[in-house]
């Protein structure tokens, strides 16, 4: 391994962040109309300039505490390699049924090609088929790519390339796979879910549903974006790639509507060694959604049974977390409203130091009761506040536009390295 490769390693949700993958939203977000917002998985269309100002707060804070890798830079660099370019463009053209654009794409400069692969390529209307298809784009824009959490997941020193629930997002996975597979920048093993059962439409999973509670405890959401077959595949892969000793997998079933329950990290995220943010009606309330505990011992599933809820099984496994309630404990109306705007979706920069949207005031008030200091992102970026000196804190970013895409700070970040939690 050459010295300048970064070894990928994530064994918790909260260990001090050492490297992260981001994608700053660009023109792809504006290439959306109300007509295709639904297809793009958005609840609304975004104002790009405001979304970018909000995103600047996220990336500005992260730039103060960790090394940032940008998808577009990594992709541009990858496309400089002729063989890599040919392999990736070939897969994309076949997968999206645009093989007649292959030569055209191959001839573009790496920078322009990276832009087109993310922001979209308008279709040439030079044939009857193209005319009758009535599609503006040959390659649709990747509207969701700023949610880098979903297309690939770091589990230990492995990167799982996800087979996404929606075909709209398949290209994100293909690009990520190309970035991680070749040891150009990152040193990691790649598990590619696309290779497992390519024809199985019931097999899918996304990173928002996969949480590493502890090195031996995975929490996985089973809902509209991660199927039971996807979870079985992941367990199978982990078993095959030398999963030594015991692994506990805790699966939480999720409602398929409303769409704010899209991933487990929209109802449960870890804030500290002993604290978690939860959406109470689903995580602790009486409901029909099961929590299932699976034990994998030396590569075999040895136990599978229903348990009360995530906090109770974590406690049994020696990891006691105090639930803090999204939207505050007083009012179910506030809980619903704030969960809708990613109020339970927190991202840890280090144990007890987390990021979220400033708009969820009842959630922030609840955190303040637990001793969390609320710090606006600009105070960190401008050096008014030093994160190293803060104990428990929430760094808040403005969120009027970004949440319209359906996600929060955890959704917008793919950790590549975290320090071990003592």
pLDDT tens, 182-205? 888 999 999 999 887 777 889 999
Q: Please state, in angstroms and rounded to a whole number, the distance separating the CA atoms of residues 206 and 262.
A: 10
pLDDT tier at 260, thresholds 50, 70, 90: confident
Task: Say if residue 153's pLDDT is above 80.
Answer: yes
Task: Say if residue 34's pLDDT is above 60.
Answer: no
Task: Say if residue 72's pLDDT is above 50.
Answer: yes
Task: Say if residue 393's pLDDT is above 80.
Answer: yes
Report the mean per-residue pLDDT for the chain.
Answer: 92
Task: Say if residue 344's pLDDT is above 50.
Answer: yes
Q: Are strands 189-192 and 210-214 parallel, antiparallel or unpaired?
A: unpaired
Predicted pLDDT at 126: 82
Tell me the residue ranges of DSSP E strands in 223-364. 246-253, 268-272, 275-278, 291-297, 300-307, 322-325, 347-350, 353-357
Q: Please state, in angstroms and rounded to a whole number, the distance separating the CA atoms of residues 30 and 374.
A: 32
Beta bridge partners of 219: 211, 250
For residues 309-338, average pLDDT: 95
For residues 355-381, average pLDDT: 97
Backbone angles phi, psi at 52, to 5 degrees: -70, -35
CATH of domain 6-86+141-418: 3.75.10.10
Residue range 221-258, pLDDT digits in tens:
999 999 999 999 999 888 776 667 889 999 999 998 88
Lowest mean pLDDT: which of 77-81, 118-122, 126-130, 301-305? 126-130
- Specify the domain boundaries for CATH 3.75.10.10 within the chain: 6-86+141-418
Predicted pLDDT at 1: 39
pLDDT tier at 2, thresholds 50, 70, 90: very low
pTM: 0.94
Burial class (CB in 10 A: 0-12, 13-18, 19+), 91: middle
Task: Say if residue 41's pLDDT is above 60.
Answer: no
């Amino acid at each position: 391994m050459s010295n300048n490769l970064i070894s990928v390693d994530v064994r918790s949700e909260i260990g001090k962040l050492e490297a992260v993958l981001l994608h700053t939203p660009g023109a792809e977000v504006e290439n959306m109309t109300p007509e295709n917002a639904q297809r793009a998985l958005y609840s609304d269309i975004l104002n790009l300039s405001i979304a970018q100002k909000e995103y600047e707060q996220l990336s500005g804070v992260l730039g103060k505490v960790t090394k940032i890798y940008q998808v577009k830079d990594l992709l541009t660099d990858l496309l400089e390699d002729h063989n890599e370019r040919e392999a990736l463009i070939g897969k994309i053209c076949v997968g999206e049924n645009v093989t007649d654009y292959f030569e055209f794409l191959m001839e573009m400069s790496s920078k322009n090609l990276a832009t087109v692969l993310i922001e979209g390529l308008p279709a040439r209307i030079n044939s009857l088929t193209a005319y009758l298809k009535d599609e503006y784009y040959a390659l649709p824009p990747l509207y969701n790519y700023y949610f880098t959490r979903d297309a690939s997941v770091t589990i230990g020193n492995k990167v799982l390339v996800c087979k996404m629930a929606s075909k709209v997002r398949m290209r994100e996975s293909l690009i990520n796979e190309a970035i991680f597979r070749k040891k150009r920048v990152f040193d990691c093993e790649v598990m590619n879910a696309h290779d497992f059962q390519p024809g199985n439409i019931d097999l899918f999973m996304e990173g928002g549903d996969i949480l590493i509670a502890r090195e031996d405890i995975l929490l996985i959401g089973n809902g509209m974006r991660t199927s039971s077959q996807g979870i079985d595949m992941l367990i199978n892969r982990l078993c095959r790639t030398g999963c030594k000793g015991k692994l506990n997998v805790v699966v939480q079933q999720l409602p398929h509507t409303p769409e704010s329950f899209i991933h487990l990290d929209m109802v449960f995220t870890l804030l500290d060694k002993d604290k978690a943010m939860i959406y109470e009606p689903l995580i602790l309330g009486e409901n029909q959604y099961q929590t299932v505990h699976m034990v994998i011992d030396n590569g075999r599933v040895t136990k599978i049974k229903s348990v009360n809820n995530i906090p109770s099984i974590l406690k049994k496994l020696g990891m006691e977390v105090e639930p803090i309630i999204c939207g505050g404990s007083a009012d179910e109306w506030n809980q619903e409203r704030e969960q809708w705007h990613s109020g339970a979706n927190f991202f840890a920069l280090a144990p007890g130091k987390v990021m979220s949207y400033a708009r969820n005031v009842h959630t922030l008030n609840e955190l303040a009761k637990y001793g969390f200091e609320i710090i606006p992102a600009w105070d960190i970026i401008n050096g008014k506040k030093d994160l190293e000196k803060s104990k428990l804190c929430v760094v808040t970013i403005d969120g009027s536009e970004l949440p319209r895409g359906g996600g929060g700070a955890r959704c917008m970040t793919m950790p590549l390295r975290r320090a071990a939690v003592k």
